[in-house]
Amino acid sequence: MPGVLSRLLLTLFTLSFCFSIPVVSAQETGTHDLLNQIKELKSVVTIEADELERRARDKLTIARGDVRIQMEDRVLYADEVELDQVKEVVWARGRVQLIDGGRRLDGDRFQYHYRKNTGVMYQARGAIPPATAIQGVEIHKEGERRYRLVEGRFTTCRICQPEPGGVDWEVRAKEAVLEQDDYLEAKSASFWVRGIPSLFTPYLIYPVGERRTGLLIPRIGYSNVDGFTYKQPFFWAISESQDLTLTGVYRTERGFEGEAHYRYILGPEAVGSIDARIIQDLKSTTQDTIRTTITARHDQQFNPELSLKADVNYVSDRVIQRAFAETPSELRTANLASSRVFMTRLWQNYGLQLLVEDTRTLTEASDSRLRRLPELSFSAFPQRLFGSPVLFEMDASGTYLERSGVPDGGRADLFPKLSAPWRLLPWMTMIPSVGGRETAYTKRAGGGGEGGLTRELFEASNALEARFYRSFQIGGERVDRLVHLVEPRVSYWYINPVDQQELPQFDRVDFISPQNRVTYSLSNRLLAKIKETDGSVRTHEVVSLSLSQSLNLNPRERTFSDLFLSALTPERIDQAVREESARPLGNGFSQAQERRLSNLVATVRASPFRNLAFQGLAAINTESDRVDGIEAGVRFTYPEYGWVEMAHSFIRGGETAGLPGPFQDRETSGVVGRLLFTPVKNVAINYLGRYDSLRETSLENNVVVTYSTCCWLMGIQYVNRDVIPGVRGSEDSVSFFFELLTGGAPAPPERGARTLMRR
């Protein structure tokens, strides 16, 4: 029968084959026998070819010319195919291609066991998702996900660097085994970069996929303080829900270090991580050359009402985080190392929390600690009292505290409060409130006796607030309308004065500043209703400006806790004192003259354009006509080229510099800048800088330059920083890193910023 006619008949009848019965040939005659065999089929195998020949005695089928064999989700293409039903083998020749789901094998010849889905492809090439490409004189398909390569090659670059061109990198080996999404095991292997042999190893295991056990690429660097540095990480994929990265570090000038990073997922609502470092520091400024840090995070939600959270930060000494250039900037500049573990139970109107906390001061001038072992707190959220318009709320806590320089002791604090919001007008509300607070201690300050020490406070306040708005219809292509909101507020606050010098000073609960104060504020907000391309409308805050200040109706010289005064910042309007008037009393308290007017605090946020955002705060001393504090930041984004942001912080304190007391180290001024710049394709520059405006000194310049393609990334990091504990001058360090990528797409430009945070 002619080939064209046979192909037409096979298409009309969808001729199928079962692996366990004879194959139907186009040479068969007898429609009755053909229909009987079709009815007996158990799995669908469709053959299409220009010519089909059936040799019934040998149970052999031969197909020639544009052969296509469909076997479930597998498709085999070739110029010529012989199918042996007895051996269950297909011999394919000429432009052979096997497509198995998303996987593909191409070659000149193919011996294929179609029932086992195994075989050997000669002069072969293969592609395995997401980006793996293999090549070999022989590729043995030994299972659904296992391939053995003879004189083979492996790379992840073909997805973006197609043939016939070369690839950026590849692994060549005499023999290799590839487990899809798992690993490549190679013998007599070599690593080639742009066709140039760069590294040889008799044995290689390379992880394929995001979470595969194996050695990661090392990182090398040099510092004028640490000497040469070598880091070798090893990644262990313990299970689908756990992994561990172990890193050995050697610094020629400082010694050895071991790092461990453990991640886990205990369930849908329980995740966490543990980071640990143990360092042999030959240049340690402390007595012990063995230094350690431990950081742990755990977050568990037992049910919607019950949760457990842990945030542990342990350091063996106060300066370890500032001793190494690779420590992230925010850790090097941290003044506290705080560890907290707390469990929270919520009800509709109530909340209960159990807290254990250990906080250590890391500044060079102080090494103090505060511990809560433990603290139990109970809160009653605002709720109607017996169905009346009056709202009741309460905070209560009990804790045992330890602090350096203060006798250990227990404390109980009870603070109930009543309020009655009253809508005077549709746009005006008055909120009067009254409360009483009692705090009891087991010990007095200085250890002067046990028990019997309490503090009683009375608090009353009244607030009057209003809200006005006006809408302006724009009807533009992007902006539908603008809404201007004006929110004025004025309040009165009273707390009776009591002597608190006998109270041990652990935290902010132990000193409550007396109040007889009027506070007023005015907020302006301009909102834009933006029309999106999908027809929806979103609200965008274009600009907001708020002004606030308070008036002390009875300013006088008072005695304040040093802890309270040192926590006062220029933007605080609940209390204001003349810093230069502070006189330490030697018992943790100081006398200071109150100011009648607090600072006038102006806060602004603006985002007039999609790519520009600004926020700032200024604390203006209206009595002295000066600016006491500034916090400002701006971010500008240029699409496709990156972004730049800068922040400035300033606190005036020159008049107290060198004077003993809580304000002696108040003066600060610094600038922090961050940058992401992508000048050309695949190149990214990430920068972090810190500058001390008071000393006119650059504290840190941290630059990471990366170049990435779809299959690899390399980068260089340079850090210059000032003030190394125990070492004069500055430190300069440089490190190099290289990563092989398997995702099939270039790494994002922000990848370098992750390196800024890397240990």
pLDDT band for position 43 (50/70/90)? very low
Q: What is the pLDDT of residues 197-211, one digit of tens each?
A: 988 989 888 877 667
Check: CB of residue 139 under 8 Å from CB of residue 120. yes
Is 33 in a helix, a strand, or coil? Answer: helix
The secondary structure element, H or E, covering residue 386 is none
Q: How many whole angstroms separate alpha carbon 492 and alpha carbon 82?
A: 96
**Model pLDDT, residue 628:** 94
Q: How many whole angstroms separate alpha carbon 558 and alpha carbon 574?
A: 15
Q: What is the pLDDT of residues 71-112, one digit of tens each?
A: 878 899 999 999 887 888 899 999 999 998 889 999 999 999
Q: How many whole angstroms separate alpha carbon 530 and alpha carbon 512?
A: 46
Q: Which domains does the chain possess?
A: 3-208 (2.60.450.10), 467-634 (no CATH)
The pTM of this model reads 0.78
**Model pLDDT, residue 26:** 36
Mean pLDDT of 51-78: 85
478 contact partners, CB below 8 Å, separation of at least 6: 530, 531
**Model pLDDT, residue 367:** 67
Least confident of 339-343, 554-558, 635-639, 751-755: 751-755
Least confident of 22-36, 148-162, 271-285, 695-709: 22-36
Residue 284 main-chain phi, psi, to 5 deg: -65, 135
Give 556's strand partners: none
**Model pLDDT, residue 12:** 33
Q: What is the pLDDT of residues 366-409, one digit of tens each?
A: 668 899 989 999 999 999 999 899 999 999 999 999 998 888 89
**193-198 contacts at long range (C-beta below 8 A, 24 or more positions apart):** 193/168, 193/169, 194/166, 194/167, 194/168, 194/169, 195/166
Q: What is the pLDDT of residues 552-579, one digit of tens each?
A: 999 999 999 999 998 999 999 999 999 9
Check: CB of residue 104 under 8 Å from CB of residue 98. yes
pLDDT for residue 311 is more than 90: yes
Mean pLDDT of 642-663: 86
**Model pLDDT, residue 251:** 93
∠ CA 122-123-124, rounded to 5°: 85
Q: How many whole angstroms separate alpha carbon 504 and alpha carbon 561?
A: 10
Check: CB of residue 635 under 8 Å from CB of residue 605. no
Q: Give the number of residues written for the chain.
A: 759
Q: What is the pLDDT of residues 711-722, one digit of tens each?
A: 888 899 999 988
**Model pLDDT, residue 399:** 96
Q: What is the pLDDT of residues 434-492, one digit of tens each?
A: 999 999 999 888 765 566 789 999 999 999 999 999 999 887 888 889 999 999 999 99
What is the Cβ-side half-sphere exposure of residue 211, based on CA atoms within 13 angstroms?
A: 11
Q: How many whole angstroms separate alpha carbon 230 and alpha carbon 323?
A: 17
Average pLDDT score, the chain: 86
The secondary structure element, H or E, covering residue 598 is none
CA distance to 75, 714, 747, per residue, from 171 (Å): 29, 18, 21
Amino acid present at 231: K
**Model pLDDT, residue 23:** 36
**Model pLDDT, residue 47:** 82
Q: What is the pLDDT of residues 326-363, one digit of tens each?
A: 787 778 788 889 999 999 999 999 999 999 999 998 87
| Between 16 and 117, residue with greater pLDDT | 117
pLDDT band for position 29 (50/70/90)? very low
